[in-house]
């Protein structure tokens, strides 16, 4: 399965600022997925990022707040913009398993964000 390097692993940020999270995959993948996991909650999909096209956002998430870049088949970034304490969460990137989505998805190690 793919190996994902996600960074930073954690950060404490001031409200009103932005943080960019990076995910690097050791193989080429068509889709990358960005999730949020709020404290004590399950995973909520923010958006799906395809190389060469705009990301597809889920209901409740907008590009101005969570801009995503996908410059190539092994790399993506998620920016959390104009942060507020409500954005304090774990953010995770994910990719399809080898052979496609029927083989499950691998997750990065996550970014624990605290907004103060």
Binding flag, residue 57, other proteins (CB under 8 A): no
- 96-116 burial string, b = 16+ CB within 10 Å, else e? beeeeeeeeebebebbbbebe
Site for other proteins in 62-101 (CB under 8 A): 92, 96-97, 101
Nearest to 22 by CA among 90, 106, 78, 88: 78
Spatial neighbors of 39 by CB under 8 A, at least 6 apart, are 88, 89
Say whether 62 sits in a helix, a strand or coil: coil
**Residue 48 or 79 having the CB closest to other proteins:** 48
> Which of 70, 108, 113, 115 is close enough to bind other proteins by CB under 8 A?
108
**Residue 38 or 82 having the CB closest to other proteins:** 38
- C-alpha 85/C-alpha 47 separation (Å) is 21
Binding flag, residue 103, other proteins (CB under 8 A): yes
Task: Fill in the per-residue mask, 16 to 55: x = in contact with other proteins (CB under 8 A), - = not in contact.
Answer: ---------------x-x-------xxxxx--x-------
Q: Which residues bind other proteins (CB under 8 A)?
A: 1, 31, 33, 41-45, 48, 59, 92, 96-97, 101-110
């Amino acid at each position: 399965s793919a190996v994902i390097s996600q960074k930073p692993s954690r950060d404490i940020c001031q409200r009103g600022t932005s943080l960019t999270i990076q995910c690097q995959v050791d193989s080429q993948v068509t889709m990358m997925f960005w999730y949020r996991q709020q404290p004590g909650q399950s995973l909520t999909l923010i958006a799906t990022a395809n190389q060469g096209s705009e990301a597809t956002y889920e209901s409740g998430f907008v590009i101005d707040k969570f801009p995503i870049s996908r410059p190539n088949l092994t790399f993506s970034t998620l920016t959390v913009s104009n942060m507020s304490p409500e954005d304090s969460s774990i953010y995770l990137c994910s990719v399809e398993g080898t052979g496609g989505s029927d083989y499950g998805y691998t997750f990065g190690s996550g970014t624990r964000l605290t907004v103060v």
